[in-house]
Structure 1
Amino acid sequence: MEIGIVGLNAMGNFENWITGETDFTIMVPPSRDMKMVSHKWQLMLTDDTFELAVADFVAEFRKFEFSN
């Protein structure tokens, strides 16, 4: 499963595999190299921790999207 968010000031990607492995990355445009400003990789999620991880991803995205 993958969720991608593109805003005016930030971009984010959340990826989760059936095994529970999960990565998320927040990047700040506008630039050709899309500077990475936040990431969590190799998380191992369960049904009980999935919603918290998505909420963490959205909070991180909002921090950079609305920082101006």
Structure 2
Amino acid sequence: LIEGPPEADPLIPLAADPGLRPPVALLAHAVDEPGRSAFWPMAEFSPEWVAIRWAVERGVPARFIDLPAT
């Protein structure tokens, strides 16, 4: 379980792509109200990034556990 928006769960496997390297970020916003947005930045040393990479490298299921962003 990783801190982040559950709507981003389908993006977790993308961390296995060797071309995806930190810094990376998740951005959530309301389509009809783009001023309502949230940002989850991750550096190479961020606990969230480390947990995601550990999980995808080992085939361990991972998911985000924050309240929904929408």
Category of TM-score, reference length = shorter chain: 0.3 to 0.5
| TM-score of the pair, normalised by structure 2 | 0.36
Higher percent of residues as strand: 1
Bigger fraction of residues in helix: 2
- Larger RCO, structure (CA 8 Å, separation 6 or more): 2
Q: TM-score, structure 1 length as denominator?
A: 0.37
